[in-house]
Chains A and B, each alone.
Chain A
């Protein structure tokens, strides 16, 4: 057995980057284990369980490297590969091309948002001063960085989750005093002036402004609008808790007012789970000057596709037939319905729709983006492994999946999903895919659709349509026509 164990003091990389490195090394033949992670108690224990002799000096501020390979040569190659990956990642920290303005004399990068804001503010024209901050450090550390942004008069998107609610409330109150917006915590999607932050689609600019407590919900609505030729100016995320009674819609109210005052916005869409009643009242009492279309996902409410259609008709734009690609071979009906989702809101929407449909055998939904599946691993929109395992376990009936395209998502989700779908089809499982994306997305909506479709799946750009189709398929043949 050839083991490499190293603890590199004071070397830090974020967990997503390290997962990518670990994955790349594990993919080498003859490398049986590659763990490259910060030396937290959990990771050290994991390495020891795997039989690595980790020195006792390791602290969570150090980088832990544990690689096992079939031969000494292979181990040396893997180690060289590791250096390459780490060097790549290291240089990418804010040096992504000529436009990154963090670097300063002495070669040091800013270490806090406070310092970065000072640097960016000082940098000369034609570079614009910083307009917002995107925070994705581990949740317990996010408050400091977000606070820096607010104090510097910058709006902030907090991608991190697990921020205590009292910190969220405090930040949002400070932000209101400073006339800036806090998007998040746990805000996965925003689009500011066409720039997609986190998980977002490539949208054409236009008259629609979105305020969203749900990231994938916003992606569904904006993607459909884009497919209908209607552009979106801004998508302001507010975080999943914002419309709860505790947070009281602090950011939602700010965001609605801001879009109401934004000259480029003609219509506002509000996307959320049903808000707490007092929050709903506060939002209603805002007396905005622009029309609002609300997509509040709950029983008896419009689904996201219906909300998109309502936006189009309010703007006087005809509602198109949403692109879809029927299964190449007719899907056999009947059996249980299994929903395997990445997007929490899309999952909820599909569940609401299928529950409201006629009886079927069983329907079971899993949201792989939920906390219990993302602890210690990347979001399923980046790392498909868990969902692929679940797909492989479906042996009959109907399987319903979402595939979300855009910035931040898997660069080629069909590549990993299509083989699994084809095998499912071979087992007699009927597959339906809700494909959320636009023609401008880097993955290419139509190319992805074609490959999923070739693998045997029926593909819909509307999740609601996909859910209805799947539910109809799942109804036993004796129960009615498909």
Chain B
């Protein structure tokens, strides 16, 4: 490691930012630090109480997280520990100064989804989930099954208890438990609204409050920020694509396979969360004809 100050020329670039970052970026400039640097993505932690406090600066080839600023240029020469800032309309990392020329919506509404089509969509998700070699990082029979039962029975206490147990559970930058909760929260919020199931939206509110309350102390900073985003229904295009598929707005199966390709287990973890959420939405949208996912309920799947 080099000691001392490296004289650096500032390179000004521009990109497209998630609208979730609007308030963080419009605030007065605050210092930040690079948490992790990869060839396609750099995670910048901003010293701030407000969320999202981690900004993902990514190239177009990377997965577009809901807290991302997407650049055209490649990300070179950045490493963890580099100093930076965010605010006054720009993000700085190392020698890069990033301006925003486009804002995109990380939580586009689904519109109305016919509740009648949801059970068939759930069956597709279950079937692909069961077949896929991409397994979730957690044993579905453990805490996830408990969470599923809590959501289905409409028991807030069970749901919240199970959710709290899942925060930060598992290895990696985004632990499996968090990915699962993210999938669940986004599904409850979007499909609950789309299928006119206010109970599911209410459940999303409660779970979101419980999960975000002390996320920063329970899991990695990146994962905590993504949980905050999910609490607002904000997600990456892979998760949103599956929800659009469930709502009949695009082909479902390819969307599920795209999601499953994310990370080591992230995609499979999020899919598990989506399935639990979808079961709950179905139960809430048409309580009399509830057709809960047997697989998710019993946690029968191998891990």
Contact (Cβ within 8 A) A202 B102: yes
Contact (Cβ within 8 A) A264 B105: yes
Which of A71-79, A93-101, A391-399 lies on the face that meets chain B? A93-101
Contact (Cβ within 8 A) B102 A99: no
What is the minimal beta-carbon distance from A283 to any residue of chain B, in angstroms? Answer: 23
What is the minimal beta-carbon distance from B81 to any residue of chain A, in angstroms? Answer: 25
Q: Is the CB of A10 closer than 8 A to any CB of chain B?
A: no
Report which of A126, A196, A440 forms a contact with B100, defined as CB distance below 8 A.
A440
In the assembled complex, which residues on chain A have CB atoms less than 8 Å from the CB atom of B142?
none
Contact (Cβ within 8 A) A194 B103: yes
Contact (Cβ within 8 A) A125 B101: no
Known A-B contacts A126-B63, A263-B109, A264-B108; the reply to A204 vs B100 at CB < 8 A is: no
Q: Is the CB of B295 closer than 8 A to any CB of chain A?
A: no
A263 to B60, CA, bound (A): 26
A:103-142 near B, CB below 8 Å? 125-127
Known A-B contacts A125-B258, A194-B16, A263-B110; the reply to A202 vs B60 at CB < 8 A is: no
What is the minimal beta-carbon distance from B11 to any residue of chain A, in angstroms? Answer: 13
Report which of A125, A127, A205, A264 forms a contact with B103, defined as CB distance below 8 A.
A205
In the assembled complex, which residues on chain B have CB atoms less than 8 Å from the CB atom of A203?
103
A:181-240 near B, CB below 8 Å? 193-196, 202-205, 231, 233
A407 nearest in chain B by CB position = B101
Known A-B contacts A127-B60, A195-B102; the reply to A264 vs B22 at CB < 8 A is: no
Contact (Cβ within 8 A) B103 A98: no
Chain B residue total in the interface (Cβ 8 A)? 28
Q: Is the CB of A419 closer than 8 A to any CB of chain B?
A: no
B:80-119 near A, CB below 8 Å? 89, 99-105, 108-112
What is the minimal beta-carbon distance from B89 to any residue of chain A, in angstroms? Answer: 8
Q: Is the CB of A60 closer than 8 A to any CB of chain B?
A: no
Contact (Cβ within 8 A) B103 A204: yes
B59 nearest in chain A by CB position = A98
Q: Is the CB of A442 closer than 8 A to any CB of chain B?
A: yes
In the assembled complex, which residues on chain A have CB atoms less than 8 Å from the CB atom of B108?
205, 263-264
B62 nearest in chain A by CB position = A126
A205 nearest in chain B by CB position = B105
Known A-B contacts A263-B109, A264-B105; the reply to A202 vs B100 at CB < 8 A is: yes
Proximity string of chain B (235-278) to chain A, C-beta cutoff 8 Å, 1 when within and 0 when not: 00000000000000100000000100000000000000000000
A127 to B258, CA, bound (A): 12
Proximity string of chain B (210-243) to chain A, C-beta cutoff 8 Å, 1 when within and 0 when not: 0000000000000000000000000000000000
B258 nearest in chain A by CB position = A125
Proximity string of chain A (231-265) to chain B, C-beta cutoff 8 Å, 1 when within and 0 when not: 10100000000000000000000000000001110
Contact (Cβ within 8 A) A97 B73: yes
Contact (Cβ within 8 A) A440 B72: no
Report the interface size class on chain A. Answer: 20 to 34
Q: Which of A97, A98, A125, A126 has most B Cβ within 10 Å?
A: A126
B254 nearest in chain A by CB position = A125
A444 nearest in chain B by CB position = B89
A:426-451 near B, CB below 8 Å? 440, 442
A127 to B61, CA, bound (A): 7
A194 to B194, CA, bound (A): 23
Contact (Cβ within 8 A) B19 A98: no
A127 to B19, CA, bound (A): 21
What is the minimal beta-carbon distance from B23 to any residue of chain A, in angstroms? Answer: 11
In the assembled complex, which residues on chain B have CB atoms less than 8 Å from the CB atom of A233?
105
In the assembled complex, which residues on chain B have CB atoms less than 8 Å from the CB atom of A196?
101-102
In the assembled complex, which residues on chain A have CB atoms less than 8 Å from the CB atom of B89?
440
Contact (Cβ within 8 A) A204 B102: no
Contact (Cβ within 8 A) A98 B105: no
In the assembled complex, which residues on chain B have CB atoms less than 8 Å from the CB atom of A195?
16, 102
Report which of A97, A125, A205, A407 forms a contact with B19, defined as CB distance below 8 A.
A205
Q: Is the CB of B74 closer than 8 A to any CB of chain A?
A: yes
What is the minimal beta-carbon distance from B144 to any residue of chain A, in angstroms? Answer: 28
Known A-B contacts A204-B19, A263-B110, A264-B109; the reply to A98 vs B74 at CB < 8 A is: yes
A203 to B19, CA, bound (A): 10
A440 to B72, CA, bound (A): 19
What is the minimal beta-carbon distance from B301 to any residue of chain A, in angstroms? Answer: 27
In the assembled complex, which residues on chain A have CB atoms less than 8 Å from the CB atom of B258?
125
In the assembled complex, which residues on chain A have CB atoms less than 8 Å from the CB atom of B109?
263-264
Proximity string of chain A (441-468) to chain B, C-beta cutoff 8 Å, 1 when within and 0 when not: 0100000000000000000000000000
Report which of A99, A202, A205, A262 forms a contact with B101, defined as CB distance below 8 A.
A202
Contact (Cβ within 8 A) A440 B103: yes
For this complex, 22 residue pairs linking A to B, each with C-beta atoms less than 8 Å apart, are A97-B73, A98-B60, A98-B72, A98-B73, A98-B74, A126-B63, A127-B61, A194-B16, A194-B103, A195-B102, A204-B22, A205-B105, A205-B108, A233-B105, A263-B110, A263-B111, A263-B112, A263-B194, A263-B249, A440-B89, A442-B14, A442-B101
Other A-B pairs beyond A262-B111, A263-B111, A264-B108, 17, CB < 8 Å: A96-B72, A98-B59, A98-B60, A98-B72, A98-B73, A125-B258, A126-B61, A126-B62, A196-B101, A202-B101, A202-B103, A205-B19, A205-B103, A231-B103, A233-B105, A407-B101, A442-B101
